[in-house]
A and B are shown apart, each in its own frame.
Chain A
Amino acid sequence: MSDNAIRISDLTVRYGRMIAVDHAALDVTRGSVYALVGRNGAGKSSLVRCLLGQQRPQSGSASLFGEDAWSRRTSLMQRVGVVSEDADAPPEMSVAAIARFCSRLYDKWDQDGVEARLRTFGVPLTSRFGSLSKGQRKQVSLAMALAIAPELLVLDDPTLGLDVVARKSLFEEVIGDLADRGTTIFITTHDLAGVETFADRVGMMEHGRIVLDEDVDALKSRFRRIRFAAQPVAIDTAALRPTVMRSWGGGAEAIVSNYDDVSFERMRSTNNIGAAEVEAMSLEEIFIAIAGGNNS
């Protein structure tokens, strides 16, 4: 049995001449929460479609629980709950009909759980799917995905369209609870603050490439914002690598991607730097720093 719930190897997706995913590779271990972030058009959805066996990559492979996602999709989907980026159920169907339809396709189905979650979300079973708001549709999709007690939950931008309360509920009550129970979660999102508390690992895509794939703790420990009271004459880049360097007030602000206390103190003494303030950064700030740095 594979330790990885997800393995993506050298995966490439092209649409004509445009490369959507460029030799991407990542692993998600069982029971972990993986957050894939990236700007719009970075290739996240194409990667997710390959991951779910909905699209065949031009090269490379995507496997779930050690099985090829393309060729073993039907059986794998018994173990995978999916919340798509665009809620995709036929608009004419009622929520109850969607639940009834799905229940017949899966080996196990928790109808009571579905109804309870929909009650919590405030979505009536009799509502037509097409008449629901974007956020409610996501909630319906999530309720259906959770009804099979999935081993893997794939959430493609699940907070899109959710209000602040619903977003908080999704992250803290649903995903947090699932994560605690050992369900593997793969989430693509722009809401880094939401996933920060429970994501074990984070990946970042840019222009189809995975430019970052790291444990959240390690990532957060090596990124620091350093504010200098005065403009430093120079920074020893061998010791601390500034991703961003800019003026700040009368001094300067540097974001370094390889911070550690020893290196910082050595740099401070070597370069005769006066007062400096070191701050930890949120995932969102790191993402902006990386994205901004790469763009610049």
Chain B
Amino acid sequence: MKNALVIAAREFEEKRFVIYAAVAFAILPFLLAVIPGISGKSPQDTIVLSALIFGTTFAIAVAVISGASFIGRDLSDGRMSFYFSRPAGSASIWFGKLTAGILMIVGTFGFIIVPARLATGDRWTRMISSSSTWSVVYLLTIAIALFLIAHVISTFARSRSPLIVFDFAAAVICGVVIRLLLLPLVAGGAIVLLKWLAISLGIAAVVAIVGGGAWQLERGRTDRRRNHLALSQFLWTTMAAALLIAAGYVGWVVSAQPGDLTSHIEASRASSGPFAVISGNAKGRSDYRAAFLLNLDDGSKWRLEPRAQWGVRFTRDGRSAVVPHFAATAAEMFVYTRGKGEPVDTGLTTSDRDFFVSDDGGRIATISDQLLLSVYDVAQKRSLASVRLPFAKSMRAFFVSPDVIRIYLNVPDLKIEELDVRTRALRETGSVPSQAFMVAVPDPSAAHMLVHAFRSDVLFLNDARTGAVIKPLSTSAPVKAASYLRDGRIAFVDGQNSAAVLHILAADGTPQRDISLGAKKWVTILGDDGVRVVLTDTDVASGNRMFEAVNITSGAIEHRQPAHNSVASVVFDPRPSIEPLRDVLDIDAQGHAISWNPATGATRMITGG
């Protein structure tokens, strides 16, 4: 310890001219402030800014130059024996020189900054912000990091050893491994984890370089090549160990299973078939989000990037899901199919924000921000058509068949357009005049549709292609929800909040059955399984949200289940599903994802608690 201080003092004495230069630079901001052409209106601003610029530049320059010379130059000039022929241990030599170097950086920075800080008072605080202390700490941390890096490069370069090729390769490998470690955390939105991983690896690098410096002098002493070898061994071994530990931790973090998810659960499910996407934070994994594409029938799963969750499109036949794999600015589309292990790369890469898929997933259509509608064939891996859509406040588009896409555009009239993929022609097939926002719900064959204006009392049955009115269905009570059933029948809920009624109609609009639901508001029709319609609604008296399975034939409410945060179906297609509804997802009061079977009323836990 004493010898380290003696050596530090010697280093300081040798480099005292650097301190003199720092003192000169400390005076310079005050001189600049009195030069009229430079200082402008506020001499204090000039002092603050110039002191910061000079202080930062000076500290970084001192860091790089000192780092490159404080050991490396003594080795290459053959002067290390000056220390080693005296009773000074290798650690004393290293830590003495290191301490002097770091104090020199901090000292020169302080010499330039502190007088300006004292002279400008609160002007400094206002200009640099209240976090000025941290800014200074960050600057000094960067300068000291540069000092250490310069030492490593200097030792390697000055040894003139071919070992530098290995060092370069090791540095590249470290960089690649760090990138590989960071990518899944970036994809998982784990900002806190990323920060701690970066800090941990930074500390490991500092330990590797500082420990490596002591080790290189202990093993290499006056021999520059052996110094290089020893530093190289210590540095890369330590970094390899640190990266191995980090890789183990990151591997554990990203290995989270659906059962491990405990908080911030989010989910979406296919309206048809057993697919669901679920994401959340797992226990002990900080803010990392894991996401899965689940088959609720057999429990099989694929791991997804969490941000892909909201880009998933399920096919209407319930067999597949199309998932975007995000790269830097674009996404590659992959098709996941039930019963198949690996997803299939469609070959389609797009930066377009919206897309939808045909019933069987054989075709994908994208809509760009510039309203360019493009159709892509998955099997042929080629673009089939591309047309520009007219502007609309909102739009819904879906494949009527693999060759026909229908688009409902609110402009605010409901305009109906169709793209014929074979002829690549886009033409308007009809419209529904309205001044209000119109909701159009087509039947399974897309021949007819239910149309009602948002928050209106009127529900119409229209021709889905031309928009022509076939007949009004409800004209007297507020329409709360309307949908087609899978068999083509119509289901809608209307009535005052005190007495909501579920109406079942034939496909042509002939009433078949009215089922009283009681005092309900905020009703949504989730789907049907052929026997029962599944609703979510809010009980007016209790204010509780419930799932309700209503038997279409008997009119009885067979099963009820508290609904806390019911999980929406994510489809671009407004038509009813092809497959029967089997499971309803909900995030319960404890934040767990649960699945409710409306046929049996049974629930099962999907995520852990």
Contact = CB atoms under 8 A, between A and B. Distances in A.
Bind each other: yes
Given A84-B85, A105-B87, A49 B222 contact: yes
B537 to A, nearest CB: 83
B134 interface: no
A54 interface: yes
Contacts of B223: 54-55
B132 interface: no
Contact of A88 (B6, B79, B221, B226): B79
A92 interface: yes
Contact of A54 (B6, B10, B74, B85): B85
A92 B14 contact: yes
A89 B13 contact: no
Contacts of B202: none
Given A101-B10, A105-B6, A74 B89 contact: yes
Contacts of B87: 74-78, 105-107
B202 to A, nearest CB: 32
A174 interface: no
Interface in A93-143: 93, 97, 101-102, 104-107
Nearest to A75: B87
B86 interface: yes
A88 B79 CA distance: 5
Interface string A128-170: 0000000000000000000000000000000000000000000
B16 to A, nearest CB: 10
B79 A89 contact: yes
Contacts of A52: 81, 84-85
Q: Which of B84, B88, B89, B226 has the most CB of A within 10 A?
A: B84
A210 B520 CA distance: 107
A82 B221 CA distance: 16
A79 to B, nearest CB: 9
Contacts of B13: 93, 97
Nearest to A76: B87
Contacts of A88: 78-82, 85
A53 interface: yes
22 contacts: A49-B81, A54-B81, A54-B84, A54-B85, A54-B223, A55-B221, A73-B84, A74-B87, A75-B87, A76-B87, A77-B88, A82-B85, A84-B81, A84-B85, A88-B85, A90-B74, A93-B14, A97-B10, A97-B13, A101-B10, A105-B6, A105-B87
Contacts of B85: 52, 54, 77, 80, 82, 84, 88
Contacts of B350: none
Contacts of B86: 77, 102, 105-106
Contacts of A49: 81, 222
A192 B84 CA distance: 28
Contacts of B78: 86, 88
B88 A74 contact: yes
A106 B226 CA distance: 27
Contacts of A56: 219, 221, 226
Contacts of A97: 10, 13
B3 interface: yes
Contacts of A90: 14, 74, 79, 82
A14 B88 CA distance: 26
A107 B88 CA distance: 12
B6 A101 contact: yes
A55 B222 contact: yes
B221 A54 contact: yes
Contacts of B221: 53-56
Interface in A62-88: 73-78, 80, 82, 84, 86, 88
Contacts of B84: 52-54, 73
Given A54-B221, A74-B87, A89 B82 contact: yes
Given A54-B221, A76-B87, A90-B82, 14 more contacts: A52-B85, A54-B85, A54-B223, A56-B219, A56-B221, A75-B87, A77-B86, A77-B88, A80-B85, A84-B85, A97-B10, A104-B6, A105-B88, A106-B86
A82 B84 CA distance: 10
Interface of B: 2-3, 6, 10, 13-14, 74, 78-82, 84-89, 219, 221-223, 226
A105 B79 CA distance: 17
Interface string A34-59: 00000000000000010011111000
A253 to B, nearest CB: 43
A49 B223 CA distance: 10
A82 B88 CA distance: 14
A49 to B, nearest CB: 7
Interface string A267-286: 00000000000000000000
A92 B82 CA distance: 13
A102 B223 CA distance: 22
B81 A105 contact: no
Nearest to B92: A74
A92 B3 CA distance: 20
Nearest to B73: A90
Contacts of A53: 84, 221
Q: Which of B2, B14, B81, B89 has the most CB of A within 10 A?
A: B81
A162 to B, nearest CB: 19
A249 to B, nearest CB: 49
Contacts of A55: 221-223, 226
Contacts of B81: 49, 52, 54, 84, 88
Those 9 A-B pairs whose CB atoms lie nearest each other, nearest first = A82-B85, A77-B87, A88-B82, A104-B6, A54-B222, A74-B89, A78-B87, A88-B79, A54-B84
A55 B79 CA distance: 14
A92 B88 CA distance: 20
Contacts of B74: 90
B18 to A, nearest CB: 12
Nearest to A102: B86
Contacts of A82: 85
B20 to A, nearest CB: 14
B219 to A, nearest CB: 8
Contacts of B88: 74, 77, 105
Nearest to A81: B85
A126 to B, nearest CB: 14
Q: Which of A54, A86, A102 has the most CB of B within 10 A?
A: A54
Interface in A202-219: none
A54 B220 CA distance: 8
Contacts of A76: 87
Contacts of A102: 86
Nearest to A106: B87
Nearest to B6: A104
Contacts of B89: 74
A161 to B, nearest CB: 16
B222 to A, nearest CB: 5
A80 B87 CA distance: 9
A12 B74 CA distance: 26
Nearest to A154: B85
A104 B223 CA distance: 25
B82 A105 contact: no
Contact of B3 (A75, A84, A86, A105): A105
A103 to B, nearest CB: 9
A105 B89 CA distance: 10
A58 to B, nearest CB: 11
A86 B81 CA distance: 9
Nearest to B82: A88
Contacts of B2: 104
Nearest to B16: A92
Contacts of A86: 78
A49 B220 CA distance: 12
Contacts of B14: 90, 92-93
A84 B82 CA distance: 9
A263 B219 CA distance: 54
A78 B88 CA distance: 9
B79 to A, nearest CB: 5
A49 B85 CA distance: 9
